[in-house]
Structure 1
Amino acid sequence: METPASPRVLVVGLDPYRIGGSFDPAPLAAAIDKGLATFAEHGVGVETCLIGPDGDDEEAAVVAKALRSHAWDCVVVGGGLRQSDDQLALFEQVINLIHRHAPAAAIAFNRSPSTMYEAAARRIE
């Protein structure tokens, strides 16, 4: 259970159910859920902001709303946004939104869903 003094982390990434193509989203979604459970094990509050690369929503508005919803100690930016040349413009947009709407938050990058907590832990006290 999160306490008022516990760190708050926002994870921004691609929604595995909106990646499309022949990609099976279930294993990635399960890995994300497992990675998020690690935060609770360490008493760290976490929320997700999963966006779609499919253009069905206004990614900037969705991310900005999530960033303004709390005072975040850290924002973890998922690998799906960073590791694809196709997502470069969206990645840049997310980083600039973090800078604008959560300037006090540390920014961390994970390697996989299983390393979300480790990425945040490097940046939170």
Structure 2
Amino acid sequence: MKQSQAKKVLFVGQQPETVDFSDPALPPGFDAAKIHAGIAVGMQQMADRGWHADLCLVRPDESATEALERQLATTSYDCVVIGGGIRIPPKSLLLFERLLNAVHRAAPNAAIALNTSPPDTADAAARWLKVD
């Protein structure tokens, strides 16, 4: 049986310490520690599936696109998952658009997936990865 190469997934999220937890668009009760714990779960779930997963945490400012583009230049990813913390709050729309366009330019062959929270990151990626 031929072994397939491990899928490569990039998980993009906002640095938890920079999240405005008073934003009513975010689920109540979130804090930086809970987000870090959820990220760890999501990263472990991807490792458990045999995937190579990297994490790119960005600040909610102009530096986010540059940070993502630098990360995308390091590896050819099969899928890029953009976290709900970037996608859900209406005030993050411009950041979300910038990151989507950065992925489109820098990794045109990568699928783009969207999670609802860090623990469902592996499931979001699995929707778009063709796994043998």
- Tell me how far 1:5 sits from its aligned partner: 1.1
Report what 1:44 is aligned to. Answer: 51
Cα distance in 2 for partners of 1:26, 1:116 equals 17
Cα distance in 2 for partners of 1:20, 1:81 equals 11
C-alpha RMSD over aligned residues: 1.8
Cα distance in 2 for partners of 1:82, 1:24 equals 17
Count of matched residue positions in the alignment of Structure 1 and Structure 2: 121
- 1:67 matched to 2:72? The reply is yes
- Tell me how far 1:43 sits from its aligned partner: 0.3
- Tell me how far 1:101 sits from its aligned partner: 0.2
Amino acid of the residue matched to residue 92 of structure 1?
E
Change (3 A) 1:113 1:72: same
Amino acid of the residue matched to residue 101 of structure 1?
A
- Tell me how far 1:69 sits from its aligned partner: 1.0
Amino acid of the residue matched to residue 51 of structure 1?
V
Report what 1:29 is aligned to. Answer: 36
Name structure 1 gaps, 5 residues minimum.
none
Percent sequence identity over aligned pairs: 38
Report what 2:25 is aligned to. Answer: none
Cα distance in 2 for partners of 1:28, 1:112 equals 8
Name structure 2 gaps, 5 residues minimum.
23-29
Report what 1:90 is aligned to. Answer: 95
Q: Deviations over 1:5-33 (max 9, x none)?
A: 10000011111122256763111111110
Cα distance in 1 for partners of 2:129, 2:18 equals 30
- 1:122 matched to 2:132? The reply is no
Report what 2:106 is aligned to. Answer: 101
Give the greater-gyration-radius structure (CA): 2
- Tell me how far 1:67 sits from its aligned partner: 1.1
Q: Deviations over 1:50-76 (max 9, x none)?
A: 0122x4x71111011011111000000
